[in-house]
A and B are shown apart, each in its own frame.
Chain A
Amino acid sequence: MTKQIVSMTVNGEKKEVLAEPRELLIYVLREKMGMKGPHVGCETSHCGACTVEIDGKSVKSCTMFAAQAQGAQITTIEGLGSPDNLHVLQENFKEHHGLQCGYCTPGMITRAHRLLIENPNPTEEDIRFGIAGNICRCTGYQNIVKSILSAAAEINAAKEAAQ
């Protein structure tokens, strides 16, 4: 069917791609924009490996057509930090062994990022409930929870120091 030009801002950069309406955002991000951090772990919208942030919401990009994201502001894991300049969540996932195979990690961290913006002082229970849309096969979650708790404490300490 009719291809259309879809424009969106991804990690601060304006992007334009030609896409069929049926093309899912995850594939447009991965295959047309080279953002291969977000992954595909299922086809039933359960796993959350494809999670990106869209206009201040954590979204499973496998359950959105790229056309729906016309004009949107999108952040993927690539936009949160880089190997030379890790985001505090990335540092803490590394420090607390919050990943093994790494396949859920981009979605997990992107989700955790939004969770901490909405709830800067989460309890362990808040975190477990807050990442319930992200499945991990390797870690058993315990170290992911530790990583997020520790990142929250670090972010809050930095905020206090800045005041």
Chain B
Amino acid sequence: MIPAAFEYYRPSDIAGALSVLAEHGDDARVLAGGHSLIPMMKLRMADVPHLIDLQDIAGLKGTTIDGGTITIGAMTTQHELINDDALFAACPIIREAALQIADPQVRYMGTIGGNVANGDPGNDMPGLMQCLDASFVLVGADRTRTVKARSFYEAAYVTERDDEEILTHITFAASDAGFAYEKQKRKIGDYATAASAVLITKTAGKVSTASIAMTNLSDVPVLSEAAAAALVGTTCDAAAVKVAVAAALEDIDPTEDNRGPVAFKMHLAGIIISRAIARAWSRA
């Protein structure tokens, strides 16, 4: 419950935050909503001698939708995502997923940037961002670069972000595809036992595009290109879904934990992916 001592910084711009990161390297961490980092600090599982609170950096907040491109500031909270009607109109799967994350209090504080940068395979947004083919903007002292969500995650808590970079924005294309974020969990606020994000577009009664990603079924979020390919061109009938699910299951590697053994998670993943596909198709 009692975190170790640290020095606290509250810069008003990115340059101020980057200079603390540059000075202290991996002894420094940024604090966004604090709802993964502070719990880890309270358990002394994270040692953070220098904590940089990003809350005063105005440029990291808010969502813009411009010509079909959605840009979300990293410090935008889950609560703000859920209540943003323009965002819902442009990409409704975000609200559906965010409502399945944590609980009201955590959603007032927890940010999308913290969710995707955390690197915990339990977080829901990473799989969703892979499904949407989102890009993450990483700002460092001397460069800004963009990394695809689909290549950002390397292992549990290991991402493409360098210690001295800050994830500032997330961008992706608006989507009017049929959508679903289906999540099985033990109770409110739990990370998924299995979850799946699906987007499907329909042309002339057949699947014209599909995107299928999964949460907490490996040490990273998993995008299954094979599963999507199995649906394209079909009428999304039971046989096609069965092939897609089998392909998706080939791509995951769940581990046993108190949510269940591997065999159970594989079985459950199949059910969750089928449901996500069915709901996305019904909305396509």
Contacts and interface: CB of A to CB of B under 8 A. Distances in A.
Interface residues of A, number: 31
A48 B103 contact: yes
B6 interface: yes
Interface residues of B, number: 30
Nearest to B42: A43
A63 B31 CA distance: 12
A132 interface: yes
B79 A64 contact: no
B34 A48 contact: no
A64 B104 contact: no
Given A45-B39, A111-B104, A132-B189, A22 B4 contact: yes
B238 interface: no
A67 B53 contact: yes
A70 interface: yes
B148 interface: no
Interface stretch (B105-113, B139-147, B259-267): B105-113
A68 B53 contact: yes
B51 interface: yes
A45 B103 CA distance: 10
Interface in B1-38: 1-8, 10, 31, 34-35, 38
Interface of B: 1-8, 10, 31, 34-35, 38-39, 41-43, 51, 53, 55, 79, 102-106, 108-109, 188-189
Given A44-B43, A131-B104, 8 more contacts: A21-B7, A21-B8, A24-B3, A45-B35, A63-B35, A68-B31, A68-B34, A132-B104
10 closest residue pairs by CB, A with B? A133-B103, A21-B8, A57-B108, A43-B1, A132-B188, A133-B105, A1-B5, A60-B105, A132-B103, A22-B3
